[in-house]
Amino acid sequence: MSSSYVCDLAPAHIRAIAPYQPGKPIAELARELGLAELSIVKLASNENPLGPSPRGLGAAQEALQDAARYPDGSGHELKTALVRQFGVRAEQIVLGSGSNDVLDLAARAFLAPGRSAVYAQHAFAVYALATQAMGAVGIEAPARNYGHDLAAMRAAVREDTRIVFIANPNNPTGTLLSNADLEAFLREMPASVLVVLDEAYTEYLAEESRSRAVEWLARFPNLIVTRTFSKAYGLAGLRVGYALAHAAVADLMNRVRLPFNVTSPALAAAAAALGDTDFLARSYALNAAGRRQLTDGFGQLGLEYLPSYGNFVAVKVGDGMTVFHRLLRKGVIVRPVNNYGMPEYLRVSVGLANENQRFLEALAEALRP
């Protein structure tokens, strides 16, 4: 029996999936270049340059003592913290191994062959992945100025559409939709379509653009809001995210959730990090300053960039792949976004001031003919 025969056993919709391209790990580049890991700057995965929330880290370390036991499968402690923070009921919460897991749970609960999901051009890659894995049809609505075009998304919705995925802010473009536009979109969406509002970067928004999505849950039973501890809370490696939704929707998503999908250190860390307001404020301030440092630098280099509401910026560099490889040789890892239909751009995460500086200097050299 040949190995190609075994591969043919997977359904066609699985074989058609293009693998997710993660940021290059520091250890891998260090091995390739024969460099010390410490000399490498990674600004490729929108991670928190401050490291993990100290309160989260402490709680995770303590939880490790109990590693022989299964985690609390209901996530009671974390749900209690979320209930306190958001004024929702525990029945409205779905916990996931990162919010990617929660996005996938939404797809598993509501998509199937013969159904479709709508998402925007240049939107986060996981929406297409989760849709395809269910054998459902993915419909990509054209973007406008690299941002979600809600009118185009509304027009793309078909009879068989069950999910519309929206990233706000979006990764990799950093674009933001206003509360007013989103609320109008929800009002006109048929009740048969779930709107998954992915707010992975919401903690980085300034006061005046803060999301009001949680307030809308009471009015729109077809709304699913997803958030994560991977970005502003600095817990990407522990993998915790959550969805807030109508209790009946959360119930369906929880039925397809595997038992113990979130580890005990992750649950404990997330519950503690949620109250780490000092850390959140520091992350916010560092990000705002670092984003300005990057965009000022791009201005000085005469480069166009997409104004960003996240902890990253997409910058137009010409041939993105070539510049990406030149930066790698200088020990700087960023993210090429040709797989997002943006071959002229690179996405760079906001780092510490010295990391941003290293990147800008390396970029200036990489762009020299």
- Name the β-bridge partners of 225: 197, 244
Q: Is 340 exposed, middle or buried (0-12, 13-18, 19+ CB in 10 A)?
A: buried
Shortest distance, CB of residue 102 to ligand PLP, whole angstroms?
Answer: 8
**Contact between 198 and ligand PLP (CB under 6 A)?**
yes
**Contact between 167 and ligand PLP (CB under 6 A)?**
yes
In terms of CB distance, is 175 or 356 closer to ligand PLP? 175
Contact pattern for ligand PLP over residues 252 through 291, marking x by CB under 6 A? ----------------------------------------
In terms of CB distance, is 190 or 237 closer to ligand PLP? 237
Contact range with ligand PLP by CB under 6 A, out of 30-38, 95-103, 139-147, 180-188: 95-103
**Contact between 241 and ligand PLP (CB under 6 A)?**
yes
Whole-angstrom distance, CA of residue 294 vs CA of residue 314: 10
**Contact between 230 and ligand PLP (CB under 6 A)?**
yes
Shortest distance, CB of residue 341 to ligand PLP, whole angstroms?
Answer: 16
Number of alpha carbons in the 13 Å side-chain half-sphere of residue 216: 19
Shortest distance, CB of residue 169 to ligand PLP, whole angstroms?
Answer: 8
Contact range with ligand PLP by CB under 6 A, out of 97-105, 187-195, 271-279, 322-330: 97-105
Residues from 292 through 351 that contact ligand PLP (CB under 6 A): none
**Contact between 228 and ligand PLP (CB under 6 A)?**
yes
User: Which two three-digit tokens encode residue 289?
Assistant: 């300053």
- Which of 46, 175, 222, 263 binds ligand PLP (CB under 6 A)? It is 46
**Length of the chain as a residue count:** 369
User: Which two three-digit tokens encode residue 71?
Assistant: 């985690």
* Nearest residue to 43 (alpha-carbon basis) of 274, 365, 363: 363
Peptide bond just before 169 cis, omega within 30 deg: yes
In terms of CB distance, is 25 or 367 closer to ligand PLP? 25
In terms of CB distance, is 311 or 366 closer to ligand PLP? 311
- Cα distance from N-terminal residue to C-terminal residue, the chain: 52
Cα distances (angstroms) measured from residue 357 to each of 53, 300, 360: 24, 13, 5
Number of alpha carbons in the 13 Å side-chain half-sphere of residue 308: 31
Whole-angstrom distance, CA of residue 159 vs CA of residue 157: 7
Instruction: Give me the residues that bind ligand PLP (CB under 6 A), please.
Output: 46, 98-100, 124, 167, 171, 198, 200, 228, 230-231, 236, 241
